Structure 1
Amino acid sequence: MSDRPSVLVIDDESGILDTLRILLKNRGFEPKTAQGGKAGLAALKSGRWDIVLTDIRMPGVSGNDILEAAGAMDPELPVILMTAQATLQSAIQAVNEGAFYYIQKPFSNDELITILQRAAEQRSLKTENKQLKREIRQRDRSRWVEPIGGAKSFRDVLRLAQQVAPTESTVLILGESGTGKEVVARYIHELSQRSDGPFLSINCGALPESLLESELFGHVKGSFTGAERNKEGLFMAARTGTFFLDEIAETQPSTQVKLLRVLQEREALPVGGTEPVPVDVRIIAATNKDIEQEIKRGSFRSDLYYRLNVISLYLPPLRDRPDDIPLLAEAFLRRIGEHRGEPSKRLSPEALAVVGEYRWPGNVRELENALEHAIVLSPGETVEAAALPERVRTPKGDPLVSDRPVANPTLEAIERAYIMWVLQSENGNKSRAAEVLGIDPSTLYRKLARYDTDQA
């Protein structure tokens, strides 16, 4: 905050605005006036303010509307409400709704300046506190859990993640299922200026379209059957933090249009609502699909892709970084032991050789699941090769190489062949297959239905 705190003054009477502007400027503030609630709301959204001073009773957009919008944009922004018809009940209600102070007209100049100075001091202390926490976090790098891997291709990804983390740029993470896209997204969040805020995530392929939109954007009471009260969407719940949209390519065109609005306008429209809500989040998206191919097929909007693809990170599959397998295995054995309240187990040389030779189509997630399986079946301190899942000990030949119907199969054909292979490897267990594939069971059922197989 500068030496002269900025104050947005909102009232529908020009005479009051002129008086307050002169007063505040002479007392060390930097005032900006807006006549009427509608103009005040626009000024609130377009600028950065240390304090908001607003009348309550204004036609169209009231002071309470300004208070609500300010709270959505910045919960720590002090809002002072002015009114000529104050009651104890209305004052208590305003403070409970987040107002810094509730002052009754007419008021003395000294009374108002004292309140503004207190608001400025509180704002300054909170800003300094956040800055100190950020500096401590930046010094204490040991608190960050850096993704595990020593392969050059993976280290290059981490270096780029470290470069883009302090910025506000949108990031698109590409890679096969199970390669650790959410782990990298969390890493970017921890290194960012938004690390004090929340990290929220959603799998866009795990929910039907109507429910997904309600989760993302929220809804207003009565907008659909069962909407008995207003609900805040995840874009609003993640304010000041990071929102991770996994499986972004699974969204439907109507949802993509709304996501595009969030990226362009930094505001979201709740389901059934008429007034957009400001959005203050850093967006990271991820997909295991070839989005450019999806654009050609007409299932993904090119304008949304270009908005998301400001910075792209490609996570290599585990089979392309075999030297990282022992590192990951050791880390997973230690973590699983901690969760189970047991000493960390170790892989026997034979077991280590087996996990090193397996291709890991489910990548890091499949490795972790296989090790947890082996630990449960290993009573001693050492995990033997026999405790590993059968598919890891005796891998089958890759049907994508030996049984290709054409020389150059489509991406959809490859995806279908891989899904059917995993399903067969798991003896038809769809829940287990979905876990290995790194997708929600409902997504697997939809894909099987699209393939029109007997497994659906």
Structure 2
Amino acid sequence: MHDQAAPPVMIIDDEPHLRITAGQTLELAGYAPEPHASAEAALARLAPDFPGVVVSDIRMPGMDGMALLREVRSRDPDLPVILITGHGDISTAVEAMRDGAWDFLEKPFAGERLVEVVRRGVEKRRLSLENRRLKAELEAQQNAPGPRLVGRTETMQRLASMVQRISQVETDVLLFGETGAGKDLVARAIHERSRRGGRPFVAINCGAVPESIIESELFGHEKGAFTGAVERRIGKFEHAEGGTVFLDEIESMPLALQVKLLRVLQERCVERLGSNVPVPLDIRVIAATKVDLKVAAEAGRFREDLYYRLNVVTLPIPALRERREDIPLLFQHFAVVAANRSELECPPLDAAGISALLAHDWPGNVRELRNLAERYVLLGVTCDYRLDALLEGVESDTGDMALPQQVELFEKSLISQSLARHRGRISEICEQLGLPRKTLYDKLKKYGLKAEDYRQSAEP
């Protein structure tokens, strides 16, 4: 019985002995042969997203190999078709390659040649299906509620759980994390998953708005409220009615304005500049900071009463170096997004690439990683898709980890990437990593990884 995870190979030939010989050769090499005596019979069994390759003789009664090639490519142009030609039939081979054949085998061919061509075809098919699946996930994500929080580490799983829980209740939230850690994405995730998801999400960077106009920007003003106020202006808080206001870098808000913000949070109403009429508000406020507001309050740089008002629920957003195991997964996610946006191929990560990613200290956090992934897709071909070349000149650091810890982190990341790439198929993972099955199972147990977790989706 074949391993269900073994890649299937359709063998189409009207000669029984060739089907038997080729099938035995491929089975010994770890593939699952599917012999067919005619092209018509094979096409009837060819399912969409067939995960293997097709090997077919050209000269057969009924539908020949060239007609089969054209039909397969009309159904799925990414499915590799390997054609078998007669001795010296070079013109037919050239025509087949021009029509889109993956490769051809000239009779008589050695078993090693068959296995090598099939191996390359199966790898190409795996990458095509992986990109196809990731594209479909990205399209589906556009219609899903809220941005995706990518990560398998316990820290990220706990954060995702808290985001889901908080989004279902009406409370203001304070996000705390370094620049570039993804506070804006978490804020949008909370908003989109809440009942306010269909209403406005208004983001304000308190450190980027000049102090002279920030009050007018937030609360609005009446006509004639000050020089230059030629008409009434609705502020950001009013504009967000029914939705969410995201106050980024709230530690930069002027102290005088913090008093008015406190009143808005407490009374849920706002007064435009030049008006004494309160305007009721139905909003949620999510604030974000990269500094410890309690320390800032004790130093007199932030109002203590506002800090306690915001501190009902605080979500710490981890820095990227604090969840290194997620780095390869995040990088792959950003690379696929960039590849789809640019309509370019997304090359997979290799061991050297994973090593380079894990060694870097990521002072710019997720934002820096996303920028690197985009450069990798757009410019990587100029340096042979070597991440160490793209990171050249940037200091690398794995913190205070001892060498054994660094080795274990690299090994776990490499196995996790292989699990995701092969959707938990043990035989393919063993082949890629060059590990005996028992050794792989021992390492899965050691690192708390489960193949079944990766069979649902390559990304959580």
Task: Please tell me the TM-score bracket, short chain as reference.
Answer: 0.5 to 0.7
Counterpart residue identity of residue 265, structure 1: E
Write the distance in 1 (CA, Å) between the matches of 2:324 and 2:303.
36
- Is the 1:346–1:381 contact (alpha carbons within 8 Å) kept by the matching residues of 2? no
Describe the SS at the equivalent of 1:200.
Answer: strand
Of 259, 262, 265, the match for 1:260: 262
Of 221, 226, 229, the match for 1:219: 221
Residues 1:296 and 2:295 are matched in the alignment: no
Write the distance in 1 (CA, Å) between the matches of 2:187 and 2:288.
9
5 Å-filtered alignment, 1:40-439, equals: 142-379=144-381, 383-392=385-394
**What is the Cα deviation at residue 142 of structure 1?**
4.5
Counterpart residue identity of residue 292, structure 2: D
Describe the SS at the equivalent of 1:179.
Answer: coil
Counterpart residue identity of residue 257, structure 1: V
Counterpart residue identity of residue 328, structure 1: L
Over 3 Å counting, the alpha-carbon distance change for 1:301 and 1:229 in structure 2 is: same
Counterpart residue identity of residue 233, structure 1: G
Describe the SS at the equivalent of 1:378.
Answer: helix
Write the distance in 2 (CA, Å) between the matches of 1:396 and 1:330.
20
Question: 1:292-351 CA distances to partner (integer Å, 9 max, x unpaired)?
Answer: 110011011111111111111001111110100011000000111122232323334322
Which shifted more, 192-201 or 321-330? 192-201
What is the TM-score of this pair, normalised by structure 1? 0.54
Over 3 Å counting, the alpha-carbon distance change for 1:378 and 1:390 in structure 2 is: same
Over 3 Å counting, the alpha-carbon distance change for 1:312 and 1:369 in structure 2 is: same
**What is the Cα deviation at residue 391 of structure 1?**
4.3
**What is the Cα deviation at residue 204 of structure 1?**
0.5
- Is the 1:347–1:384 contact (alpha carbons within 8 Å) kept by the matching residues of 2? no
Describe the SS at the equivalent of 1:321.
Answer: helix
Question: 1:12-54 CA distances to partner (integer Å, 9 max, x unpaired)?
Answer: xxxxxxxxxxxxxxxxxxxxxxxxxxxxxxxxxxxxxxxxxxx
Over 3 Å counting, the alpha-carbon distance change for 1:347 and 1:261 in structure 2 is: same
Counterpart residue identity of residue 218, structure 1: G
Counterpart residue identity of residue 366, structure 1: E
Count of residue pairs the alignment pairs up: 259
Over 3 Å counting, the alpha-carbon distance change for 1:345 and 1:255 in structure 2 is: farther
Question: 1:64-122 CA distances to partner (integer Å, 9 max, x unpaired)?
Answer: xxxxxxxxxxxxxxxxxxxxxxxxxxxxxxxxxxxxxxxxxxxxxxxxxxxxxxxxxxx
**What is the Cα deviation at residue 183 of structure 1?**
0.7
Write the distance in 2 (CA, Å) between the matches of 1:377 and 1:393.
21
Write the distance in 2 (CA, Å) between the matches of 1:258 and 1:345.
52
Structure 1 residue aligned with 2:403: none
Identity %: 44
Write the distance in 1 (CA, Å) between the matches of 2:293 and 2:396.
34
Over 3 Å counting, the alpha-carbon distance change for 1:321 and 1:290 in structure 2 is: same
RMSD in angstroms over aligned alpha carbons?
Answer: 2.3
Write the distance in 1 (CA, Å) between the matches of 2:268 and 2:187.
20
Write the distance in 2 (CA, Å) between the matches of 1:357 and 1:240.
45
**What is the Cα deviation at residue 202 of structure 1?**
0.8
**What is the Cα deviation at residue 380 of structure 1?**
6.9
Which shifted more, 358-367 or 372-381? 372-381
Write the distance in 2 (CA, Å) between the matches of 1:205 and 1:144.
25
Describe the SS at the equivalent of 1:147.
Answer: coil
Counterpart residue identity of residue 240, structure 1: G
Write the distance in 2 (CA, Å) between the matches of 1:165 and 1:373.
34
Write the distance in 2 (CA, Å) between the matches of 1:347 and 1:282.
41
Counterpart residue identity of residue 303, structure 1: D
**What is the Cα deviation at residue 280 of structure 1?**
1.2
Over 3 Å counting, the alpha-carbon distance change for 1:268 and 1:391 in structure 2 is: farther
Q: Bigger radius of gyration, 1 or 2?
A: 2
Counterpart residue identity of residue 269, structure 1: E
Over 3 Å counting, the alpha-carbon distance change for 1:141 and 1:309 in structure 2 is: farther
Question: 1:174-229 CA distances to partner (integer Å, 9 max, x unpaired)?
Answer: 11111111111111111111112111111111111122211111111222232221
5 Å-filtered alignment, 1:14-53, equals: none
**What is the Cα deviation at residue 277 of structure 1?**
1.5
Write the distance in 2 (CA, Å) between the matches of 1:347 and 1:387.
14
Structure 1: any 5+ residue segments left out of the alignment? 1-139, 399-456
Write the distance in 2 (CA, Å) between the matches of 1:154 and 1:397.
20
Write the distance in 2 (CA, Å) between the matches of 1:329 and 1:392.
17
Write the distance in 2 (CA, Å) between the matches of 1:302 and 1:382.
54
